[in-house]
Structure 1
Amino acid sequence: MEQNAKAPLATSYDGLFKRIQQRLADRVKTPFEIRLWGGRSFRFGEGEPAVQVLVNDRNGLAALGRFDELGICEAYMAGSLDVAGDMMRFVSLRRALNDSHPLQYLWRRIAPWFIGRIPVDRQAIAAHYDFPSEFYLQFLDPTRCYSQAVFERDDEALETAQRRKLDFAIDACCLKPGDRVLDVGGGWGSFTEYAGQRGIQVTSLTISRQSEAFLSELIPRAGLPCRVLNQDFLAYASEEPYDAMVILGVMEHLPDYPAVLRQFQRLLKPGGHVYLDASAFREKHVKPSFIARYVFPADHAYFCLHDFLTAAAKTQMDVLAVHNDRHSYYLTCKAWAENLEAARDEIIRRWGDALYRRFRLYLWGSAYAFFSRGMEAFRVVLEKPREV
């Protein structure tokens, strides 16, 4: 009797995993195993599994059965699913999943019209950046730079590659001691400290409370000729123009390119430079629903190079250089994800398992997106022409 009572459930499992097998055909090459809470397991693909998906309860099983990327991410964050093995190979399974949530996309696009651009920006920044600064320092390198490094070799240390990028930004903007620079989105003081130590006067803009607090402590402690202001870039005004602007990984939060370019022209001296770097998609406003809901909400939009260059072409700004950093950003995210894994116990102890799981998905998913050419990354240098 007991065996017969279990038979319908076993039959439903068999049906589900047959559908999974059909779904994976010709889409996913990664061999993996799904193991249920009762011990039963199913293998997919050829060879030893590189990944093991552990189903801890019926909610996890239901999430798998819907083939919805967002639902599977939510089940993982809730602990209904676990992952063992190669996380890069796990996130590659997204090729077989759906990710269609049009109402979420629609609200993200229209929210600035109803609420206002600046309030929406503040809400979005707080949602990602206002965790305690110590959390981010668990996976960032000692430069604390939260955008792509510039690698010359795959086996370089992340810190070495980040310092190369910071040097590039200073050189690209032709900066020297005494120059005034606007650092848009100061983060954890990566550029502010690096340039300030060279006698460059940096005004660091941020709308993150945690970032403002971190910079307010860093600047006097390190004796930097710098300051921090809690102001939105698009609303910022200065009586004296700047020699340069540096925007590290913040263009994703500034999707109104014409407005951004107008600020470049207002705030720069003639002959002044802009250095920016960003993660990018080839279509503007495209991003996974998991990222839109749990990582970068509101109308955060990955940088779209051709849209930006089209907008720049309608101004007097000159585009001096564009560099493709896709592989470097893959290596950067991979290093961050590995650092996060190494700090797992400390992160869970201090900030909880859900936050660790959220960033584990985010960082490994981003690494895979760059590796698989699903995402791009660029450095761009611009100049405001001198008066003739």
Structure 2
Amino acid sequence: MTQLASARWPGIARAPRTPLRARIARAILRPAVNQVPVRLTFADGRTWGAGGGDSPEMRVVRPKAFFARLGADTKIGFGEAYMAGDWTTGAGTDLADLLEPFAARMATIVPVPLQKLRGFVDKKLPHHQRNSVHGSRKNIEAHYDLSNDLFAEFLDPSMTYSSAWFESAEQDLEAAQMRKIDAILDDADVGPGTRVLEIGSGWGALAIRAARRGAKVTTITLSSEQAAFARRRFAEAGVDVDLQLVDYREVTGEYDAIVSVEMIEAVGEEYWATYFATIDKLLAPGGHVAIQAITMAHHRYLATRNSYGWIQKYIFPGGLIPSLEAIDRTLHEHTSLTVTNRRSLGRHYARTLREWRDNFDASWETIKTQGFDETFRRMWEFYLAYCEAGFRTGYLDVFQLSIAHRPLPNDEGFG
């Protein structure tokens, strides 16, 4: 690794020196991986894993560094080892295909007695990643302000960075994204004259779609890069959209419809109550809310809610994926809102991510001219493949949720 790359990636440039932890990691990994239909191959010809010759291959290039990273921090070290090139896929093996069997066994691959020790090894979210008003801005900037040009290389022309909803195997990504957006707007009953608040502007696709329905649209973001891009798109599209560079906690007014696509994951558990209470306060009587939220099973949310992982360190600082139960509980305890309908798009997200990754790989020669190095490439590949594997197996899901005020007792016929 060059000196410049070492300065940019200090945690990747040198493997930690933790020989005892490395030996422990090795001792735990071997029996665990021998239950998984994959092959771990080493340069000396040794092979671990339950997979045959046609199973996905994980090729361990630098065993000493690999086990050192795994021993130092299992949840972060595995991804860091891929970023560093300590392990890679074998010839003919797709990264998501390799990660899928691990994702399918996420809850069981570590023996139950050792799972009880996770409280001693899990790291908590760093204080600087808390999603306070100031912290949220820094967290959003860390990902979404990377480069509009970067995202343009792998997203569809609408620049939509969330799960699509495919109508058929033949439908292209852009059309599937418009189908997803239309479903959100339909669920929120957006039409001519509707006062719409969008929490999380993205690059403006949903706001344009809503404005073209005749709605009066206010959209908010914390990303200055996204805001500049979206404003140009609004002008080019000839739509009147009020874009504000503010935090959701700073919004005032009253809205007939509130929409938010894959924003709750960036809110942080500490602020879920504030997020939904703000929506409750801003929603007009009889109004509708539609959000799209990545979720995980409740038992996995409980197991991971107090830990700090690779995705939080390198991709989405301050992020936490909720469960449907956690959303329902927060709404019940802190708002007058309730979920009235839900639609799963999990398998559609797996396809969306695969198309993004294919686009990213095909565009890498262009992307690297923007100043992104090989470590960044491997980081982004791991991120997209890791998420794809999660949605393929159902470890992760994504829902479109329709939310409205709970009926008053009179509405239910009680008095």
Q: Which moved more, 1:363-372 or 1:156-165?
A: 156-165
Q: 1 CA distance for matches of 2:26 and 2:279?
A: 55
Spell out the pairing of 1:1-388 with structure 2 (5 A cutoff): 21-26=30-35, 28-34=36-42, 36=43, 40-44=44-48, 45-48=51-54, 50-53=56-59, 55=61, 59-60=65-66, 62-63=68-69, 68-84=74-90, 85-92=93-100, 94=102, 105-108=123-126, 117-154=132-169, 156-238=171-253, 241-254=254-267, 255=269, 256-281=271-296, 282=298, 283=301, 285=305, 289-298=309-318, 300-314=319-333, 315-350=335-370, 351-384=372-405
Instruction: Judge conservation of contact 2:58–2:87 (CA < 8 Å) in 1.
Output: no
For these two proteins, the number of residue pairs brought into alignment is 363
The residue type equivalent to 1:77 in the other structure is M
Indicate the SS of the match to 2:162. coil
- Is residue 181–residue 202 contact of structure 1 (8 Å, CA) maintained in 2? yes
State how far apart, in whole Å, the 2-side matches of 1:248 and 1:19 are: 39
Q: Quick one: distance in 1 between partners of 2:128 and 2:46?
A: 44
Where do 5+ consecutive residues of structure 2 fail to align? 1-24
Is contact 2:218–2:243 with CA below 8 Å preserved after alignment? yes
User: 8 Å contact 1:200–1:225 — kept in the other structure?
Assistant: no
Deviations, residues 54-111 of structure 1 (Å, cap 9, x unaligned): 5168534644687935223212223344334211122246455799686774244x55
What is the Cα-based RMSD across aligned positions, in Å? 3.1
Asked if the contact 2:200/2:260 (under 8 Å) is kept, the reply is yes
- Match of 2:292, SS? strand
| Structure 1: gaps of 5 or more residues | 1-15
In structure 2, the residue corresponding to 1:335 is in which secondary structure? helix
Cα distance in 1 between the residues matched to 2:368 and 2:101 = 26
TM-score between both structures, scaled by the size of structure 1? 0.82
2:265, 2:276 → 1: CA distance? 14
Cα deviation, 1:269-319, whole Å, max 9, x if unaligned, reads 211111100111222526771112111122x21122112112222432242
Work out the CA distance in 2 between the residues paired with 1:191 and 1:107.
Answer: 31
Q: Distance in 1 between matches of 2:119 and 2:314?
A: 14
User: C-alpha displacement at 1:142, in angstroms?
Assistant: 2.0
- Higher mean displacement: 95-104 or 338-347: 95-104
Please report the TM-score for the alignment, with normalisation by the length of structure 2: 0.77
Distance 2:328 2:145 in 1: 31
The 3 A distance-change label for structure 1 pair 280 and 233 is: same
Task: Give the deviation of 1:196 after TM superposition.
Answer: 2.2
- Check whether the contact 1:247–1:275 (CA below 8 A) recurs between aligned residues: yes
Q: What is the CA-CA distance between 1:23 and the residue it aligns to? A: 3.6
Conserved? CA contact 1:55–1:61, under 8 Å: no
Q: CA deviation at 1:197?
A: 2.8
